[in-house]
């Protein structure tokens, strides 16, 4: 998965984060990518935090979609 900003032709940083679905609490594989310049910045940290707080796994996302 990609988060944050990745500029064209920029090197990507791959990292792992502990991510849990906010609905069913299932742990999801936390392989993430972001741009080299963005990685480690304050806005990166904030974005990662809010990403974790709002993340839904594929199953829960589908559930929400069909409930509508
Ligand atoms: Zn879920």
In the chain, % helix, strand, coil (3-state, to 5) comes to: 35, 20, 45
Rounded distance from Cα 48 to ligand 1 centre (Å): 18
- pTM for the full predicted model: 0.82
Rounded distance from Cα 11 to ligand 1 centre (Å): 31
Our measurement of the distance from residue 20's CA atom to the centroid of its chain's CA atoms, rounded to an integer in Å, reads: 10
Residue with tokens 């929400």, as numbered in its chain: 64
Residue 33 phi, psi (nearest 5):
-135, 140
Rounded distance from Cα 39 to ligand 1 centre (Å): 27
Rounded distance from Cα 32 to ligand 1 centre (Å): 18
| Domain ranges, ordered by start, for the chain | 12-67
Rounded distance from Cα 40 to ligand 1 centre (Å): 27
Q: For the segment 16-67, what is each residue's pLDDT rounded down to a tens digit? A: 999 999 999 999 988 999 999 999 999 999 999 999 999 999 999 999 888 7
Provide the pLDDT confidence category of residue 68 given band limits of 50, 70 and 90. low
Query: Strand 19-20 vs strand 27-28: parallel, antiparallel, or unpaired?
Result: antiparallel
Distance CA 57, CA 30 (A): 11
Provide the pLDDT confidence category of residue 7 given band limits of 50, 70 and 90. very high
């Amino acid at each position: 998965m990609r988060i944050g900003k990745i500029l064209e032709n920029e090197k990507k940083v791959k990292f792992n984060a502990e991510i849990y679905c906010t609905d069913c609490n299932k742990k999801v594989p936390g392989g993430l990518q972001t741009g080299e310049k963005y990685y480690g910045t304050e806005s990166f940290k904030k974005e990662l935090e809010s990403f974790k707080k709002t993340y839904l796994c594929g199953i829960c996302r589908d559930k929400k979609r069909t409930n509508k």
